[in-house]
Amino acid sequence: MQFLLSTGQVAHDLGIPEPRLNDLIRRGKIDPLPPVVAGRRLWSAEHVEAARRALAEAPSQSTDAEATR
């Protein structure tokens, strides 16, 4: 049996705010993208690992803010 997590649970496990995780989703940085069921994303272990990789490859938010100055 496979356990599925909500976006909030995944963000908590990754140690980032949920909006940061949603930003990675919007920018297409997470592949494969978790499916949406009844309006909610359901994350499997494979999807969590994809998010972890995307987070490792993405610049930090402070770096993004400094680049726009």
Residue 2 lies in a domain: no
Domain that holds residue 39: 7-63
Q: What is the CA radius of gyration of the chain?
A: 13
Q: What is the mean pLDDT of residues 45-63?
A: 83
Model pTM above 0.85: no
Q: What is the mean pLDDT of residues 1-20?
A: 93
Residue 33 lies in a domain: yes
Kindly tell me if the per-residue pLDDT of 64 is higher than 60.
no
Residue 1 lies in a domain: no
Residue 36 lies in a domain: yes
Residue 12 lies in a domain: yes
Percent of the chain with pLDDT over 90: 67
Q: How confident is the model at residue 61 (pLDDT cuts 50, 70, 90)?
A: low
Number of helices (H) and strands (E), helices first, in the chain?
4, 2
State residue 67's pLDDT score: 45
Number of domains in the chain: 1
